Structure 1
Amino acid sequence: MGDLLARRRELVSARAELLDRPDVALPGVPGHVVASWRRSIAGGVDPAMIVNRFHPDLDTGSRLVRCARPVMEQLVEQVAGIGVCVALTDHRARLLVRLDTDAVIARSADVNAFAAGFGYAEGAVGTNGVGTVLESGRPVHIVGAEHFVEQLHDYACAGAPVRDPATGRIEAVLDLSCRAEHSSPLLLSLVRSAAARISDALLHDRDPAQQALFDAYARTESRTRRAVLAVGRRTVLANTAMQTLLDAGDHAALTDHARFLLLRGPGVDDRVDLPSGTRARLRGAVVPVGGSVAGLVAVVTLLREPDDGGPAGSVPGAARPDADGDSPAWRAARTAVAAALGAGTPVLVTGEPGSGRARLVADCWPGPVVEVAPDDDGADLDDRVRRAGQRALVLLRDLDRRDAGVPPAVARGDLPTAGTRADTAVPDPVRDAVLARFRVSVPVPPLRGRPGDLPGLVAALLAELAPGRDVRLSAGALRTVSRHPWPGNVSELRDVLTAALGRRPVGVIEATDLPESCQSAPSGTLRAVDRAERDAIVAALRDTDGNRAAAAAALGVARSTLYRKIAQYRITG
């Protein structure tokens, strides 16, 4: 017990020093713990107490829970001699189910909000055996004061990722938690083994058609380094080479074509022209099961890439380069907004900031648009509308940030009116009072929800940012752009292209010309410290022409560390 208390004092002192000096070295603390502490500080986690959310809508009867429960019950029997919680979370660190060996540890877990429905992401609760697994992508053992939040210093937890056997993605985290004095390295071995058994259960929990398709895909993928695509009635499998070969629009078109080929016989050797102008070849075979077809497995190669030719700012295959989008979701939003405005109905357009809400309204209105900012009281709005001319539309922007009340000219109700509001806005009685002025609301999809619109958007933005110049994205750059999640939506895309034009003002923009933020596709939102680390790695790789050994030397880290970080941030450049 004395050693445990001494270690606790050492860790508490180290954490206090880090809180005072974020750049201090902590040689006595494990590297993965220091990294997690730094992320916790950057994320604004309260070190004094647990502050996490309850999620009431989790699926506790899912296939994942069904496959995991027998393994968890067996684990409870193995550790029945000590007070232990065995918990399963989803890929967002939200607890799905918890089993306890005794009532004492169960009460402690409840006090710490470590219960079904609560989230234990590192960004909310700091260093722990669930969130830190998701951040690092590997098993962790966190003991006592290695936890960032003081409320958890009396406990130890060991967590391991449960990966989808087909894609390799983390689908869940299995966690063992107990009192710190009961901790043992054995906990980490137990949870690793149990997580692997859950993954194996997921592998075998398929219907015969899914299993036959997966087996054929695995055999093909093991024999080649090329892009492999497997398509079933409800399933799509793709190796890393396939995922990076095409942009999202081309990938979807190729998947649809593969489903069409299911009806054409056992052997497949077909060439297909994709929306971007790329020509691809599929060579493979249909996978039979019983008297039906399970799917198709094919090796995909590119015969032509859309890099050569095309007018300035153009992308081959973009049907409407001057349009904000032509995806089904965007067309539906455009139709609904146009119909409401045409009928004289005040319309509220909701969506993420930067997703093009105001632009959509302007495109659907035939006359001038007078915009009213959140801090504009609109006292002179009648004069501004009069100067704008006939059929002017009043657009109240960002109503979720508006504190100025309803402009008098809008309150009269005789002006055509539209508004924009974030779809994640927190209810506010004062700000929401203006919502009574609207009769229709139309949601706008985020950019990541309409990847097929990217080529046209890129072309339109390049034409706007570099008028008259011969400039376009290479196929590799367009694939890099297509992989990015675009949390800032169209506004972020504009900033990215502006930065790329600074590096390559004319000609073909390559993937290496794009900002560091586009060179990775992380599984979650990155904190400031993670972004800085990611950008440093991308810059080092760019400066060394992709030589990872030289980049590791320039960064002063081991090659193994660099490889792990590249995988963690999914760096593609």
Structure 2
Amino acid sequence: MLHAGCPGRHQDAHVRTGGVPRQGRPPPAGVPRQVVASWRRSVESGVDPGELVSDYDPGLDFGSRLVHCARPVIEQLADQIADIPVCVALTDDRARLLVRRDTTPWVGRLADDNYFAAGFDYAEGRVGTNGVGTVLESGESLHVVGAEHFVERLQPYACAGAPVRDPVTGRIEGVLDISCETRYSSPVLHSLVRTAAARIQDNLLSDRDEAQRVLFETYSRLDARSRHAVLAVGTRAVVANAAMQTLLDPHDLQALQDHMRFVMRRARSFDDVVSLPSGAQVRLRARVVELGADVAGLVGTVALVREVDGPAAVGSVAARLDGTPPGDGRSPAWRTARDGVADALRAGRALLVVGEPGSGRTRLLTDLAGRRSGPGADVVAAADVTARPAGALARIRSLDGGTLLVLRDVDALTPAALGILDEVVADLLAAGRPVAATAATPPRHDGLLARFRSSVTVPPLRARVVDLPELVATILGELAPHREVGVSAEAMRTLARHGWPGNVAELRAALAAALDRRPVGTIEVADLPGSCQSMPRSALRAVDRVERDAIVDALRAVGGNRVAAAAALGLARSTLYRKIRQYGITG
């Protein structure tokens, strides 16, 4: 991690060039298997061993629940080894540094000079083998010493890292790391960091219990003095009084819970009318319950504003709501985003639409632009502006005066391209031309950001699970327009359990794969890709994803026979059973 000092162990040519064994040649004696595997991944990722490259993210949450639970442990650990010049650091689950405690000032200066500082990224795919990124990739604690590092500037140093897991889900939340010069390295540091990581996990468990306690106490106080339906929604808990439990049908109640989870990260209080999938409307008056710097949940009262006139299918409800077609989305979070985009387009305000990739940002803009009178929208990708700036800018300037220009993924633009685009957008807006942009996070260019007058956040698919039936029907209609196709109830439940890190784009790909297996008729669970039949992909490492999908494919190939699947995979049956439980594979 730090970059000055004396050589480490295993300083032979094999190690210094990345440690990838040639065919038939074993790795050097004593090099841990995790390191050998990491060298291979580093080569495959294109990491340059002669250059240290680290990305910086200024938008990290440095006051997160993980930081809150880890800080006292880090302080105690640093005090315990204060006589040794080390850095004790905590990263998030993407190897981005959140907290660092130095036992001497010069160690801190070395760390700063070499990007091991708050906000910087030490992912293995950028930095090569190291005590943070490699721990995340392997899922195991690791002591990386000297030339076991892939990048040469790291080789004078040693780092011991251990994963910090959520004590309930088992998901890796971050990495605790101790870094020092190799001359100060000791196996004891590896033991210390593992013990400290376990203590952080204990704090996470206590904090989770505390968050639920605070949420329930707030709910109880409100329920005691209110005659209305009361609902409390946390990240993993829901509490409702008797009035709430009889107020809405289960589908609407789930939609309201999804909406509350979406808004509780964006406002401290909420008082608004929420439209639900059935057509009912409720007034939600709620406030955020905080625990330190973290959000424990949202607690509030719910009152029915408009009841449903009678039972209706999704399609007939859709026909009543603003004339929008089926498949447009009925969840409150999606309707809020859609209405915000529509209002901005009607008013002619320059609009920034923020949301995760694949969540439907661009589709929402182009669909709503197409419903206006005029020529619709033209989408220009950030990659085109970066790769072919002259052609992209000429295309932008040649657009019809009424065409909505949609700049896709502006947060992915290079600084030079952002500067050029800023000038062009300023000219378009000065001429009264409609402009919108999409981004996963706001672009890091104050000039361009200042051009926009409105912003809307599009919810991820996991925050609008109630929209799944409509989305599935719409996507199947687009993929197989002249075929009789559908999805079984069990397959729909499987889709609803998936975390959808790739959002609507991932759903479309999954349904396309299912249609390859069953082009006509009812899609069953077995027709879905393996990624949909287990735990969310976001909770898995890259190597786990490959392993999980291989297990699902093997089980499918042998008709679910686990003994045959274990033999085909070369695994012991006990290992296969454990991994099936680990990955949540069903069927």
Check whether TM > 0.5. Answer: yes
Please name the residue that 1:65 is paired with: 67
Tell me the SS of whatever aligns to 1:493: helix
Indicate whether 1:393 and 2:397 are aligned.
no
Distance 1:354 1:206 in 2: 31
Q: What's the CA shift string for 1:492-526, capped at 9, x where partnerless? A: 43332222112112232123212344445233797
Residue of structure 2 aligned with 1:15, choices 8, 18, 22: 18
Please name the residue that 2:133 is paired with: 131
Please name the residue that 1:236 is paired with: 236
Q: What's the CA shift string for 1:269-316, capped at 9, x where partnerless? A: xxxxx989xxxxxxxxxxxxxxxxx99xxxxxxxxxxxxxxxxxx999
How far off is 1:472 after superposition? 1.8
User: Does the aligned pair in 2 maintain the 1:161–1:195 contact within 8 Å?
Assistant: yes
Residue of structure 2 aligned with 1:522, choices 537, 549, 552: 537
User: Does the aligned pair in 2 maintain the 1:516–1:538 contact within 8 Å?
Assistant: yes
Indicate whether 1:324 and 2:328 are aligned.
yes
User: Does the aligned pair in 2 maintain the 1:133–1:139 contact within 8 Å?
Assistant: yes
Matches within 5 A, 1:347-358: 354-357=358-361
Tell me the SS of whatever aligns to 2:179: strand
Please name the residue that 1:466 is paired with: 480
Please name the residue that 1:419 is paired with: 406
How far off is 1:207 after superposition? 7.7
User: Does the aligned pair in 2 maintain the 1:318–1:456 contact within 8 Å?
Assistant: no
How far off is 1:102 after superposition? 3.1
Please name the residue that 2:469 is paired with: 455
Distance 1:174 1:398 in 2: 38
Matches within 5 A, 1:268-279: none
User: Does the aligned pair in 1 maintain the 2:97–2:120 contact within 8 Å?
Assistant: yes
* Amino acid of the structure 2 residue aligned with 1:419: V
Q: What's the CA shift string for 1:356-376, capped at 9, x where partnerless? A: 4554345335679xxxxxxxx
How far off is 1:420 after superposition? 4.0
How far off is 1:487 after superposition? 5.5
Matches within 5 A, 1:11-410: 12=15, 15-18=18-21, 26=27, 28=29, 29-205=31-207, 210-211=212-213, 234-237=234-237, 252-253=254-255, 322-339=326-343, 341-342=345-346, 354-357=358-361, 359-365=363-369, 391-393=374-376, 395-398=378-381, 401-402=384-385, 403=389, 404-405=391-392
Distance 1:195 1:363 in 2: 48
Distance 1:511 1:161 in 2: 34
Q: 1:336 to 1:199 in 2, by over 3 A?
A: closer
Comparing 496-505 with 485-494, which one deviates more in the overlay?
485-494
Q: 1:407 to 1:326 in 2, by over 3 A?
A: farther
Q: 1:172 to 1:523 in 2, by over 3 A?
A: same
Tell me the SS of whatever aligns to 2:51: coil
* Amino acid of the structure 1 residue aligned with 2:479: L
Query: Taking every aligned residue pair, what percent have the same amino acid on both sides?
Result: 57
* Amino acid of the structure 1 residue aligned with 2:558: T
* Amino acid of the structure 2 residue aligned with 1:106: G
Q: 1:347 to 1:454 in 2, by over 3 A?
A: same
User: Number of matched residues?
Assistant: 473
Tell me the SS of whatever aligns to 1:236: coil
Comparing 65-74 with 116-125, which one deviates more in the overlay?
65-74
Distance 2:558 2:566 in 1: 10
Indicate whether 1:430 and 2:420 are aligned.
yes
Comparing 561-570 with 327-336, which one deviates more in the overlay?
561-570
How far off is 1:62 after superposition? 4.4
Distance 2:554 2:317 in 1: 34
Distance 1:62 1:408 in 2: 43
User: Does the aligned pair in 2 maintain the 1:71–1:197 contact within 8 Å?
Assistant: yes
Indicate whether 1:512 and 2:526 are aligned.
yes
Distance 1:495 1:411 in 2: 34
Tell me the SS of whatever aligns to 1:156: strand
Distance 1:186 1:460 in 2: 58
Tell me the SS of whatever aligns to 1:88: strand
Distance 1:492 1:364 in 2: 22
Q: 1:412 to 1:357 in 2, by over 3 A?
A: closer
Distance 2:255 2:566 in 1: 39
How far off is 1:337 after superposition? 4.3
* Amino acid of the structure 2 residue aligned with 1:322: P
How far off is 1:51 after superposition? 0.9
How far off is 1:344 after superposition? 6.5
Distance 2:167 2:421 in 1: 48
User: Does the aligned pair in 1 maintain the 2:380–2:392 contact within 8 Å?
Assistant: no
Q: What's the CA shift string for 1:527-564, capped at 9, x where partnerless? A: 6x776555433322322344555434323355677678
How far off is 1:458 after superposition? 0.8
Tell me the SS of whatever aligns to 2:88: strand
Please name the residue that 2:442 is paired with: none
How far off is 1:155 after superposition? 1.6
Distance 1:515 1:361 in 2: 30
* Amino acid of the structure 1 residue aligned with 2:518: R
Tell me the SS of whatever aligns to 2:411: coil
Gaps of 5+ in 2: 1-6, 217-230, 239-249, 262-275, 279-295, 298-312, 320-324, 437-454
Distance 1:111 1:409 in 2: 42
Tell me the SS of whatever aligns to 1:15: coil
Distance 2:193 2:582 in 1: 21
Distance 2:509 2:259 in 1: 35
* Amino acid of the structure 1 residue aligned with 2:404: T
* Amino acid of the structure 2 residue aligned with 1:125: V
User: Does the aligned pair in 2 maintain the 1:454–1:482 contact within 8 Å?
Assistant: yes
Distance 2:137 2:486 in 1: 36
Q: 1:44 to 1:99 in 2, by over 3 A?
A: same
Distance 1:235 1:489 in 2: 19
Q: What's the CA shift string for 1:430-459, capped at 9, x where partnerless? A: 344442324564656254554332221111
Distance 1:487 1:233 in 2: 22
Q: 1:191 to 1:38 in 2, by over 3 A?
A: same
Distance 2:260 2:368 in 1: 37
Tell me the SS of whatever aligns to 1:189: helix
Please name the residue that 2:567 is paired with: 553
Distance 2:67 2:399 in 1: 56
Tell me the SS of whatever aligns to 2:95: coil
* Amino acid of the structure 1 residue aligned with 2:12: R
Distance 2:420 2:490 in 1: 48
Distance 2:396 2:409 in 1: 23
- The TM-score, its normalising length taken from structure 2, stands at 0.66
User: Does the aligned pair in 2 maintain the 1:522–1:569 contact within 8 Å?
Assistant: no
User: Does the aligned pair in 2 maintain the 1:162–1:199 contact within 8 Å?
Assistant: yes
User: Does the aligned pair in 2 maintain the 1:121–1:130 contact within 8 Å?
Assistant: yes
* Amino acid of the structure 1 residue aligned with 2:111: A
How far off is 1:488 after superposition? 5.0
Q: What's the CA shift string for 1:107-157, capped at 9, x where partnerless? A: 433333222232222222222222222223332222222222222112222
Distance 1:509 1:107 in 2: 59
User: Does the aligned pair in 1 maintain the 2:165–2:172 contact within 8 Å?
Assistant: yes
How far off is 1:80 after superposition? 3.5
Distance 2:518 2:106 in 1: 64
Distance 1:431 1:522 in 2: 35
